[in-house]
Amino acid sequence: MGFLYQSWGPKYETICSECSTPDHAWKMPMSLPASFRHDPKHRHLQLDPLDPSFFQDPYPAYALLHATGSSFFWENYGFWCFIGYDAVNRLLRDRRFGREKRHSDADSQGRAGDRSHLTDFDHIEKFSMLELEPPVHTRLRTLVNRAFVSRQVERLRPRIEALANDLIDKFEPRGQADLIAEFATPIPVTIIAEMLGVPTQAAPQLLDWSHRIVAMYMHGRTRQSEESANAAAAEFSQFLRDYAAKRRLEPADDLLSLLLAAEADGAKLTEDELITTAILLLNAGHEATVHQTGNAVKTILESGTNPASLLADAETTAKTVEECIRYDAPLHMFTRYAYESIDLGDGIKLEPGDQIGLMLGAANRDPLVFQSPEIFQPDRTDQKNLSFGAGIHFCIGAPLARRELQVALKLLFDRLPNLGFRDVPRYRNTYHFHGLERLEVTW
């Protein structure tokens, strides 16, 4: 019958369901989600990703799963998941897997059937380099990559600094703020909008479209959220088509103009590729950075270490940001499809079209790779993380995200050294995208 995990006072212990006695070889001094049911012998897990006790703190569950292996079958999703750092890193680079759906009509949530109400959403997905594989992916990424190399991103530092200072100027006199809405969100969405060449005053609308589209990747989505995502895709696409038409007539020093003119091996972006690429950059250019900024502020405040020492100079700031990215990542699951029959060993056999879950947030806490992975330790010598992915789908905006985080966090704590929580931070009910609803602070 396997094992169940039940409450014993303030702690949880492994209880053998056959003899009902504690397994003294394993004790976890931490709370596990109420819906957590794990059979370590067969490596099957029942765990509701909508369980508040899980998405508020997934790390106790990860710790127990790490103790029993590097993979498990997550019944709520219906596919094998991998949490070991080495396994996730290897599978992200394994070309037998990919994002492109080649053998199934089901989407990333395993849903098939009538999609007539998702025509506009599916159209932008069709041309997204995140969902494509070589050679199309290679061509699209080559065209876009030049805007996100480190030397180009470094040119944005003064603008990021000015924007962060302007935002702090607005809320500093009040003595309190919600840093998610008033700081973490405006910086990346403004920067990516300016890079693309679309009006920054449209930021609230861009955010609304983005959030509605991203809802398509959430567990437990509804018909209503699907129709909302489809409408957002149609409206977002038309907005960008209008601006692309203006840039064709009047090119400027922005990414939209660059994409219109860019060529790789003589092949330009098609109109559909251009629109989808711009949507992807706007969505990806802010979503994860917003979450990571909030998570990082929370992590630093909870660490008990003086922020001034963690963000003293460029070197310590860079180390602190990298540890924040490892310690509490903004993306916890990345799915891929098998393109052939694959035997991964340990009884895991996959057929073409089967999906796997690569758990980035859990891999960053692998005790076989990181010493004391549950401890926030910016000066650790084993610093590395998979938060930006790996392989050909490694996040193209990673240099920009790192620079935004480094600049924003240092300025925030330099200017508000007495920053502290005004209310307990709580995460949104979006397991894949791990970020705070609000971050109410005072100083």
Contact assessment for residue 129 and residue 140, using Cβ atoms and an 8 Å cutoff: yes
Contact assessment for residue 380 and residue 164, using Cβ atoms and an 8 Å cutoff: no
The Cα 83–Cα 340 span in angstroms is 22
Give 44's strand partners. 39, 73
Confirm whether pTM is higher than 0.85. yes
Which structure tokens are listed for 308?
């001034």
Domain formed by 70-442, architecture: Orthogonal Bundle (1.10)
**Domain boundary assignment for the chain:** 1-69, 70-442
Low-confidence stretches of the chain (pLDDT < 50) are 1-29, 108
The pLDDT tens digits for 16-72 are: 333 333 333 334 445 899 999 999 999 999 999 999 999 999 999 999 999 999 999
Nearest C-alpha neighbor of 141 from the set 329, 391, 404:
391
The pLDDT tens digits for 270-303 are: 889 999 999 988 887 788 999 999 999 999 999 9
Q: Residue 264's pLDDT is what?
A: 58
Contact assessment for residue 323 and residue 380, using Cβ atoms and an 8 Å cutoff: yes
